[in-house]
Amino acid sequence: MTGYGSERDAYLKRLRRIEGQIRGLQRMVEEDKYCIDILTQVSAATKALQSFSLELLDEHLATCVVQAAASGGEEADLKVREASDAIARLVRS
């Protein structure tokens, strides 16, 4: 079971909204909209993805990592390392 299972529908709804933003960006380019207007929408889509990522990470830490830490051993070490790597990727992006 994934840690986000209880929020799956809400996450999918958010991702569909972000997908709509990306399709809107494609339309704007196809319609030769003003560059600054497109960049504004890129910023909004980027923020939406960042917000989604942080929420998913929080959920992962609160469920998967906490459960693994309670069990201890190699699984706990692996989950902490995975979370740390994920945080590093998010910070770099």
pLDDT in tens, 9-44: 999 999 999 999 999 999 999 999 999 999 999 999
**With contact defined as beta carbons under 8 Å apart, do 45 and 22 qualify?**
yes
Q: Indicate whether this model's pTM tops 0.95.
A: no
Q: Helix 8-30 crosses helix 35-60 at what angle (to 10 degrees)?
A: 160
Average pLDDT, the chain: 93
C-alpha 77/C-alpha 69 separation (Å) is 8
d(CA 52, CA 65): 18
